[in-house]
Structure 1
Amino acid sequence: MSSTAPRPPLYPILLSLRGRHCLVAGLGEVGQRKLAGLLACDPASVLALDAARPENLAAGAAALIKDPRVVFACRACSRADVRGRALVFAATGNAEENARIAALCREAGVLCNCASAPDLGAFSVPAVARRGGLSATLSTGGASPALARRWRHELEDWLAPRARMVRLMARLRPLVLALHAETGQNTRLFRALAASPLQTWLAEGDLESCRQCLLAELPPVLHVHIAELLDDLA
């Protein structure tokens, strides 16, 4: 049995990429997934590097580099390329090249994901399940990406009815905060709603029970908004 010390846990974080600049080196299947995932999060730009010329890229990669936020170059990654990047993905399909890029990132203090050797990078990408504005991430710490993908689908089914509750709270929260009540009062209200059966009633499409609950819990001044809060949530 190995005596190697257990790997410390990874620090979980949900990072906004809006206005940030990223880099993907390699546009094979892995690189395409990384690039598509970045573009879904609305970065300012993504520098995409690959050894193949644009006309020789796979169809998926060719479609991705047409995005106006993508700057494509047919060359290797340089030290200057990684400077100032929020995230770098080393996914060239060549383990030595990926390790070189990861080393450049360490020198520059830039977060890097190394596809061929995760321990050489600074972060891993968890499986992400999304339903509406609700998201959940799952990681096996590198033990089994296949299991993480399987459980991601199970998480999506679990999230689906709860996404309605998130939509309701997203509509309600700014209305409550606009009343400028004391923080403790708002906290009690939000916790009461979170603990209520609203989630179950929304999943069942029982809007009348939801309406009665909101009438009982919300300040009277917000009662006029109940219909719009529940609109299209059935």
Structure 2
Amino acid sequence: MASTAPRPILYPLFLSLEGRRCLVAGLGDVGRRKLAGLLACGPASVLVLDTRRAEQLSDAPADVRDRTLVFAATGNAGENARIAALCREAGILCNCASAPDLGAFSVPAVARRDGLAAALSTGGASPALARRWRHELEHWLAPRARMVRLMGRLRPLVLALHAETGQNTRLFRALAASPLQNWLAEGDLESCRRWLLAELPPVLHVHIAELLDDLA
């Protein structure tokens, strides 16, 4: 009978891999997917071991040491479990493809549009559903990505004014609650321009054209 014990709540995290060293053990379909996801995030290096090399990892493996993330994705469940155990002993985060509960983290389905990302996990209940909903999320994110691009340009300009924190908070909340997102989705830049003229500090009015550039 399947266990009815509640699964632990996973801590969601967006992790920068810049300057980090990672390891992928296994070069099958799963391992190649894990490798592609890692490389897209620009780590300093990724050591890739085929199953035979992975089996040569000792009880104090130099290959595992100093890695930020390890993916145990060989076709051998016992080997994956052994690598996960080595990582636990070394205090290294490991994803165990064949038995997620043995690892320290799971990889969510991620939908991306420009700088906007949404990660979705079913807690291991149904990766197939997570993939389906990821595609639905991509459609949902597409029009909102324009708003993210606008805020990515505007926020540094606002902060550079060194205004009082409460003033910035009120402006950012007004931006988030504004119709700008809908107007950008419709390509209505003139309405966006009028709103920004009315709400932004006058010193920023000179930047409005560049803020809206290529957002239609």
TM interval, shorter chain, is: over 0.9
Map of 1:104 onto structure 2: 86
Secondary structure at the counterpart of residue 62 of structure 2: helix
Counterparts of 1:36 and 1:128, CA distance in 2:
13
Secondary structure at the counterpart of residue 89 of structure 1: strand
Map of 2:57 onto structure 1: 77
- Encode CA deviations 1:163-187: one digit per residue, 9 max, x unaligned: 0000000000110011010111111
Counterparts of 2:172 and 2:11, CA distance in 1:
27
Overall identity of the aligned pairs, in %: 86
Partner residue of 2:161 out of 173, 179, 183? 179
- Encode CA deviations 1:145-171: one digit per residue, 9 max, x unaligned: 000000000000000000000000000
Q: How does 1:1-234 map to 2 (within 5 A)?
A: 4-51=4-51, 76-78=56-58, 79-234=61-216
Secondary structure at the counterpart of residue 80 of structure 1: coil
- Specify the code of the residue in structure 1 equivalent to 2:95: N
Measured after TM superposition, the shift of residue 74 of structure 1 is: 7.9
TM-score under structure 2 length normalisation = 0.96
Secondary structure at the counterpart of residue 141 of structure 1: coil
- Specify the code of the residue in structure 1 equivalent to 2:197: L
Counterparts of 1:182 and 1:95, CA distance in 2:
56
Secondary structure at the counterpart of residue 23 of structure 1: strand
Secondary structure at the counterpart of residue 147 of structure 1: helix
Counterparts of 1:117 and 1:5, CA distance in 2:
16
Counterparts of 1:89 and 1:105, CA distance in 2:
10
CA RMSD of aligned residues (A): 1.4
Asked if 1 retains the 8 angstrom alpha-carbon contact of 2:111 and 2:117, the reply is yes
Counterparts of 1:188 and 1:10, CA distance in 2:
33
Asked if 2 retains the 8 angstrom alpha-carbon contact of 1:90 and 1:98, the reply is yes
Counterparts of 1:185 and 1:222, CA distance in 2:
15
Measured after TM superposition, the shift of residue 75 of structure 1 is: 6.4
Q: Specify whether residues 97 and 2 from structure 1 end up closer, same or farther in structure 2 by C-alpha distance, changes over 3 A only.
A: closer
- Specify the code of the residue in structure 1 equivalent to 2:69: L
- Encode CA deviations 1:2-52: one digit per residue, 9 max, x unaligned: 673211211100000000000000011000010111011000001100047
TM-score under structure 1 length normalisation = 0.88
Name the count of aligned residue pairs: 214
- Specify the code of the residue in structure 1 equivalent to 2:75: G
- Specify the code of the residue in structure 2 equivalent to 1:8: P
Secondary structure at the counterpart of residue 213 of structure 1: helix
Q: Specify whether residues 83 and 74 from structure 1 end up closer, same or farther in structure 2 by C-alpha distance, changes over 3 A only.
A: closer
Counterparts of 2:191 and 2:56, CA distance in 1:
60
- Encode CA deviations 1:164-222: one digit per residue, 9 max, x unaligned: 00000000011001101011111110100100000000000000000011001100000
- Runs of 5+ consecutive residues of structure 1 not aligned to the other structure: 53-72
- Runs of 5+ consecutive residues of structure 2 not aligned to the other structure: none
Counterparts of 2:57 and 2:178, CA distance in 1:
53
Q: Specify whether residues 217 and 77 from structure 1 end up closer, same or farther in structure 2 by C-alpha distance, changes over 3 A only.
A: farther
